[in-house]
Amino acid sequence: MAVKKNGAQTVQFDNPPILLASGSVVGPKEGEGPLRDYFDIVLSDDLYGEKSWELAESKMLRESVKKAVEKANLSIENIEYMFSGDLLNQLMSASFAARDLAIPFFGLYGACSTLTESLSLGAMLIDGGYADYIVAATSSHFSSAERQFRFPLEQGTQRAPTSQWTVTGAGAAILGAYGDGPKITHVTTGKVIDFGIKDPNNMGAAMAPAAVDTILTHFQDTGLGPEDYDLIVTGDLASIGKEIAEEMMLDKGYNIAKVYNDCGLMVYDTKTQNTYAGGSGCGCSAVVFCGYIHQEMIKKNLNRILLVSTGALMSPTSSQQGESIPSIAHAVAISND
Amino acid sequence: MAVKKNGAQTVQFDNPPILLASGSVVGPKEGEGPLRDYFDIVLSDDLYGEKSWELAESKMLRESVKKAVEKANLSIENIEYMFSGDLLNQLMSASFAARDLAIPFFGLYGACSTLTESLSLGAMLIDGGYADYIVAATSSHFSSAERQFRFPLEQGTQRAPTSQWTVTGAGAAILGAYGDGPKITHVTTGKVIDFGIKDPNNMGAAMAPAAVDTILTHFQDTGLGPEDYDLIVTGDLASIGKEIAEEMMLDKGYNIAKVYNDCGLMVYDTKTQNTYAGGSGCGCSAVVFCGYIHQEMIKKNLNRILLVSTGALMSPTSSQQGESIPSIAHAVAISND
């Protein structure tokens, strides 16, 4: 049974769920980035043989799940729950993938925090004995996100220098009650934090306070600190948000700089790939985790990580109504020990 | 610890979580319907003092949570997790309510199945020992849904006779590990089902097969049948979907007619209130359950119910791209025994 103090936001598992395998599918641009050799499938065309970017995104999500299941030596029928979400309105990508896969489905919306939201809930269901195997999967697509959240690509609108580049990619991770692999030891569930940032082209700044709140809470709840991790990695704060998060943590007495990185800065070479502040999207932490980090943990090059996917919960409607951007971050601690 | 057979979709709880209290807020039209005396707050103006319908919806959700917490003799700080979602893009209603309430937040999207999705996950977290108290809350608003999914109200577009009327309402239920009240004994998690219906003005027909699949699975997994329930109640199939569901169940050998009803037919007087096929929306099963059903269970007028909220997972984008409507239903069995 899980250990949890009443009122704290962190669960520590007695039977830590095992990250058995991950699958990843990325677009052409991500396939040219520094992590290119870690992805299972790199697309040469971001339509992936479909008639719309939305359907292409859904296919990426579905194929990442199939790849993860295959790498775990399981079949789809073994997977008892699918926890999944994406950035599209009404979760078009996840809903259509879940239809094709026919796995009992919990649809989640945490914007770009969805990977750790799904891993958190999945881990509790495994530790609690409700399932032997679950899949946590999420996706985003540059072209479907641009036209939904910003402007149609055909319009050729100029980008702000603080803007981020939505990752075209899907990642899926299989959690099991048995087997070999790194283990989820803790989950820290975030609150919605809003420091009043209203610029949807500066999401890193909006999300940084949420990441800081969750990382601080994780440290306070567990007694752990930066020295206990090889890598603390946020989802998609990118260059501006990462700097803010580092400074805010320092103000609170924690120097995380030595072990801290952000998936949005890892997935692209921001100097040569013209991605402005860096990557973003549900797919950002999904492909960096399911591609790079999980494999490096299996190779024991990384042994203790804190994965903190970060979500900006604004909608085009809320932005148009002049509202600020509520943000959230969920943390998952993963260990080889 | 939960009893669950591998491969089955149903969890039976060893420590059934208790439905301690519910809160409900409805709009003027719902306040004139047959369940008017069961709601905690009936609005005279569906803007609720806010400057947009979206913000009004979020306020309804927030106030329903506060009301439920108050009726459970708890304070907001006692609530360890909020499971919540709504129909608005990027969960604007739930995200903004969770910001104001500052409860650790899991955002869910199950369209109109969100009430039972949130109760299912919340119940597993309580039974598993991860929390003592959680809140499951969801909302919808006629005016925000119309302009997002269909047409701006100002346009005065004619409605199809098969169309449904989105409930303006929010419901919140507090689940606890201790205390008095009806108990959640089982949850059956749905798969995404799609029979190829493409008409977004006929959601009942699209969702009926999903409801049938989940109810059948519940019966098969548990050995229970219609005779074990006082009331089997779907979320928002309304008149057309309810008839289809009844017939499909009969085809499968189960006559549910005697104990079967649909929240979309309970919330309005469809003969006099001009609501076409009946009510729909996340708020539909939320206010019927959190208003009427929960109170009737506390009074012991109802003792064993199966609540099956139903969600149509289409988006305006998927409809415009000519895709059919994937649907889902999650069942929660609640008992006074």
Q: Which pLDDT band holds residue A270 (cuts at 50, 70, 90)?
A: confident
Ordered DSSP codes for B161-212: TT--EE--EEEEEEEESSSSS-EEEEEEPPPPB------TT-HHHHHHHHHH
Of B313, B324, B325, B332, which to mutate for an interface test with A (greatest number of A Cβ within 10 Å)? Answer: B313
> Any bridge partners for residue B25, and if so which?
B41, B170
pLDDT, tens digit, 9 for 90 and up, residues B140-187? 999 999 999 988 888 888 888 889 999 999 999 999 999 999 999 999
Distance in angstroms (rounded) separating the CA atoms of residues B289 and B305: 10
**Predicted local distance difference test score (pLDDT) of residue A43:** 98
* Nearest-neighbour CA in chain A from B283: distance (Å): 16
Domain ranges of chain B: 10-176, 183-335
**Predicted local distance difference test score (pLDDT) of residue B150:** 87
ipTM entry? 0.97
pLDDT, tens digit, 9 for 90 and up, residues B262-279? 999 999 998 899 999 999
Please say if the pLDDT value at position B13 is more than 50. yes
A117 in contact with B, Cβ within 8 Å: yes
Angle of CA points B182, B185, B189, to nearest 5°: 125
The closest alpha carbon to B229, from B306, B283, B121, belongs to B306
How many CB pairs lie under 8 A apart between chains A and B?
Answer: 180
Distance in angstroms (rounded) separating the CA atoms of residues A114 and A97: 16
Q: Which two tokens stand for residue A311?
A: 């979500």
A131 in contact with B, Cβ within 8 Å: yes
Residue in A closest to B121 by C-alpha: A121
* Nearest-neighbour CA in chain B from A170: distance (Å): 19
Of B55, B95, B114, B132, which to mutate for an interface test with A (greatest number of A Cβ within 10 Å)? Answer: B95
> Any bridge partners for residue A165, and if so which?
A279
Nearest to B105 among A6, A129, A191 (CB): A191
Q: Residue A335 in 3-state DSSP? A: strand
Question: In this complex, do A96 and B323 lie within 8 Å of one another by their Cβ atoms?
Answer: yes
Nearest to B54 among A109, A117, A317 (CB): A317
Ordered DSSP codes for B103-129: --EEEB-BTBTHHHHHHHHHHHHHHTT
Element (H, E) at A326: none
Distance in angstroms (rounded) separating the CA atoms of residues A28 and B320: 27
Please say if the pLDDT value at position A4 is more than 80. no
Question: In this complex, do A90 and B2 lie within 8 Å of one another by their Cβ atoms?
Answer: no
Architecture of domain B183-335: 3-Layer(aba) Sandwich (3.40)
Give A98's contacts in chain B (Cβ within 8 Å): 191-192, 326
Nearest to A321 among B54, B89, B189 (CB): B54
Express as a percent the part of chain A with pLDDT over 90. 90
Give A317's contacts in chain B (Cβ within 8 Å): 54, 88-89, 92, 148
**Predicted local distance difference test score (pLDDT) of residue B311:** 97
State mean pLDDT over A193-208: 92
**Predicted local distance difference test score (pLDDT) of residue A235:** 97
Contacts with B, A 232-271, CB within 8 Å: none
State mean pLDDT over A315-332: 95
Question: In this complex, do A104 and B1 lie within 8 Å of one another by their Cβ atoms?
Answer: no
**What is the average pLDDT score of chain A?**
95
pTM of this structure: 0.97
Express as a percent the part of chain A with pLDDT over 70. 98
Give B65's contacts in chain A (Cβ within 8 Å): none
A129 in contact with B, Cβ within 8 Å: yes
**Residue B160: how many other CB atoms lie within 10 Å:** 13
State mean pLDDT over A311-329: 95
Question: In this complex, do B191 and A89 lie within 8 Å of one another by their Cβ atoms?
Answer: no
Give A194's contacts in chain B (Cβ within 8 Å): 99
**What is the average pLDDT score of chain B?**
95
CATH code, residues A10-176:
3.40.47.40
State mean pLDDT over A176-192: 97
* Nearest-neighbour CA in chain B from A151: distance (Å): 15
* Nearest-neighbour CA in chain B from A172: distance (Å): 18
Distance in angstroms (rounded) separating the CA atoms of residues A265 and A243: 12
Question: Helices marked H in chain B — which ranges?
Answer: 53-71, 92-101, 114-127, 142-149, 203-222, 238-251, 263-266, 282-287, 294-298, 316-320
The closest alpha carbon to A225, from A190, A248, A254, A185, belongs to A254
CB A305 within 8 A of CB A297: yes
Give B217's contacts in chain A (Cβ within 8 Å): none
**Predicted local distance difference test score (pLDDT) of residue A3:** 56
Place of tokens 């719902």: B30
**Predicted local distance difference test score (pLDDT) of residue A7:** 57
**Predicted local distance difference test score (pLDDT) of residue A1:** 43
Residue type at position B202: N
Position with higher pLDDT, B147 vs B228: B228
Please determine whether the domains at B10-176 and B183-335 fall in the same fold group of CATH.
yes
Distances (CA, A) of A145 to A95, A182, A282, B305: 16, 32, 10, 41
Angle between helices A238-251 and A203-222 (to 10 degrees): 40
Distance in angstroms (rounded) separating the CA atoms of residues A227 and B161: 64
Residue in B closest to A11 by C-alpha: B130
B299 Cβ neighbours under 8 A, 6+ residues apart: none
Angle of CA points A63, A67, A68, to nearest 5°: 120
**Predicted local distance difference test score (pLDDT) of residue B1:** 43
**Predicted local distance difference test score (pLDDT) of residue B3:** 56
Please say if the pLDDT value at position B114 is more than 70. yes
**Predicted local distance difference test score (pLDDT) of residue A161:** 86
pLDDT, tens digit, 9 for 90 and up, residues B43-60? 999 999 999 999 999 999
Question: In this complex, do A313 and B90 lie within 8 Å of one another by their Cβ atoms?
Answer: yes
Residue in A closest to B10 by C-alpha: A130
**Predicted local distance difference test score (pLDDT) of residue A5:** 56
Element (H, E) at A320: helix A316-320
CB A51 within 8 A of CB A75: no
Give B92's contacts in chain A (Cβ within 8 Å): 315, 317-318
Angle between helices A53-71 and A142-149 (to 10 degrees): 140
pLDDT, tens digit, 9 for 90 and up, residues A29-45? 999 999 999 999 999 99
